[in-house]
Chain A
């Protein structure tokens, strides 16, 4: 596990890379939720990154501008900044781990980030949406006017189909997102898992749920493509 700052010195981004052993050319950028869900999900994101690295996939998780340890305050950040941050994270992963193919994993609000930033990005071959928000719902803790999933799917440059996995835990309602992804031509797998979500408070945050089966599902799906 290698924590570091990257990106512009005017507003550095904090990231943690879990490097895979051997000469893997596959990598994951993990877009975490914002707001209070960020704190509840932190441990699960860390475990997912480690499991991916053990499965031979480099994994980089990072805090977008204005969140966590990254520079700025979210009030001073635009949607374009967050989208650019994902591009910087992909570039950092490519430069530091020499990856040639990237999977973007979004959790909750991070799913909108993944779609808005990743679909126009040629290095991104596949996408995992983990407990996505409903299609039109605004993203918690994001910059003002950050695109919903619906808006991200229909944005310019988002028309190149990808392999997409949706993982839903018990706390996430199935919605029309599946149909919307198919309409845009994406090749979709869906898995419903009976367990609490990574982002949920659980019985107080002293007992953070770790959704082990969801993590297994994501690792297997990405690992099979590496």
Chain B
């Protein structure tokens, strides 16, 4: 395993780490692209991205983890552009960089807003053959979710008190941050307080999944307990997205007990075990689908 720093994009302002998987790589091997989770720099929370990259390299898969403009070690561009547009431009630049290294297939791994970015890149770039999204921000609420969510609360006095006082459940601070406060425009200005990028609405998500399934893209959706208001039991993904959610190209798993950023080391290891197994089971590191 060897890692090197890459600088790319306008004025070579985007910074990332390319992790090579061997001395003579097969160019058909998918490269794993790892974008930021919100404003956390390319190492990832609890070194999630660094560890994912190195474990994959041991399995024969190269990767590229990088920072969007203005986040982590990448320079702000100073351009007047929406956060969403800037993210798409930087994703395109990173995908181009991977192709410039001689690889033609990409898998995108992302947590929270990074999961949304994985899907966004996949629908616009046919090089993407797989996505691994962790705690994707969308609407997955079903009747069973409501039962699992509210039944224990109906028995708690604090729930009635909150209702009477008009307090609503809110995203935790960490979840809000990872949902994607955007890149800074200038270092000298306060960090933008634009709040989370809008989550993917369910119809749009279903449309994206349908498009990707037709293209034979493999997808994995991992969920934690961290977004309990929205996702709280195994199998909810398929129930929330009838039809496409049960497609054999799609895998979903609920990591009960994990928080939104998988801060517990054992939970992080379980997540990376699942990622490694999914990669090895579906993509041949010597090229092609296995």
Nearest to B17 among chain A residues (CB) is A69
Contact B15 A3 (CB under 8 A): yes
| Interchain nearest-CB distance for A46 vs B (Å) | 7
A-contact bits for B15-28, CB 8 A (1 contact / 0 none):
10100000000000
Chain B residues positioned under 8 Å from A207 (CB to CB): 177, 181, 191, 193
Interface residues in B163-181 (C-beta closer than 8 Å to A): 172-174, 176-179, 181
Contact B4 A5 (CB under 8 A): yes
Chain B residues positioned under 8 Å from A39 (CB to CB): 40-41, 43, 45
Nearest to B45 among chain A residues (CB) is A39
Known interface pairs A47-B187, A210-B190. Does A68 touch B172 (Cβ–Cβ under 8 Å)? no
Contact B176 A43 (CB under 8 A): no
Question: Once A and B bind, how many residue pairs between them come within 8 Å at the CB atom?
Answer: 73
Contact A204 B3 (CB under 8 A): no
A-contact bits for B21-40, CB 8 A (1 contact / 0 none):
00000000000000000111
| Assembled-state Cα–Cα distance A205/B196 (Å) | 12
- Is B215 interfacial (CB 8 A cutoff)? no
| Interchain nearest-CB distance for B23 vs A (Å) | 14
The contact of B3 among A46, A69, A205, by CB within 8 Å, is A69
| Interchain nearest-CB distance for A14 vs B (Å) | 8
| Interchain nearest-CB distance for A205 vs B (Å) | 4
Chain A residues positioned under 8 Å from B5 (CB to CB): 3-5, 14
Known interface pairs A68-B50, A206-B39, A207-B191. Does A46 touch B73 (Cβ–Cβ under 8 Å)? yes
Chain B residues positioned under 8 Å from A16 (CB to CB): 73
- Is B145 interfacial (CB 8 A cutoff)? no
| Assembled-state Cα–Cα distance A46/B184 (Å) | 13
Contact B39 A3 (CB under 8 A): no
- Is B153 interfacial (CB 8 A cutoff)? no
Contact B38 A206 (CB under 8 A): yes
- Interface class of chain A by DSSP: mixed
- Is A208 interfacial (CB 8 A cutoff)? yes
| Interchain nearest-CB distance for A142 vs B (Å) | 15
- Is A64 interfacial (CB 8 A cutoff)? no
Contact B177 A205 (CB under 8 A): yes
Nearest to B41 among chain A residues (CB) is A42
B-contact bits for A35-68, CB 8 A (1 contact / 0 none):
0100100110011001000000000000100011
| Interchain nearest-CB distance for A145 vs B (Å) | 20
Contact A5 B177 (CB under 8 A): no
| Interchain nearest-CB distance for B261 vs A (Å) | 10
Contact B39 A5 (CB under 8 A): no
Residues of A in contact (CB 8 Å), total 26
Contact A68 B47 (CB under 8 A): yes
Chain A residues positioned under 8 Å from B41 (CB to CB): 39, 42
The contact of B173 among A5, A42, A69, A204, by CB within 8 Å, is A204
- Is B7 interfacial (CB 8 A cutoff)? yes
A-contact bits for B274-288, CB 8 A (1 contact / 0 none):
000000000000000
Chain A residues positioned under 8 Å from B17 (CB to CB): 14, 69
- Is B114 interfacial (CB 8 A cutoff)? no
The contact of A204 among B45, B50, B172, B190, by CB within 8 Å, is B172
- Is B105 interfacial (CB 8 A cutoff)? no
Chain B residues positioned under 8 Å from A84 (CB to CB): none
Contact B176 A3 (CB under 8 A): no
Chain B residues positioned under 8 Å from A67 (CB to CB): 47
- Is A203 interfacial (CB 8 A cutoff)? yes
- Is A25 interfacial (CB 8 A cutoff)? no
- Is A94 interfacial (CB 8 A cutoff)? no
Chain B residues positioned under 8 Å from A43 (CB to CB): 39, 191
- Is B72 interfacial (CB 8 A cutoff)? yes
A-contact bits for B246-290, CB 8 A (1 contact / 0 none):
000000000000000001000000000000000000000000000
- Is B116 interfacial (CB 8 A cutoff)? no
Contact B43 A68 (CB under 8 A): yes
Contact B173 A201 (CB under 8 A): yes
- Is B218 interfacial (CB 8 A cutoff)? no
Contact B177 A206 (CB under 8 A): yes
Known: A205-B39, A205-B177. 8 other contacts (CB 8 A): A1-B75, A39-B41, A46-B72, A203-B173, A205-B38, A205-B174, A206-B173, A210-B191
What are 24 sample pairs from A and B whose C-beta atoms fall under 8 A apart?
A3-B73, A4-B5, A14-B17, A36-B46, A39-B40, A42-B41, A43-B191, A46-B72, A46-B73, A46-B187, A50-B187, A69-B42, A69-B50, A201-B173, A204-B173, A204-B176, A204-B177, A205-B177, A206-B179, A206-B181, A206-B193, A206-B195, A207-B193, A208-B191
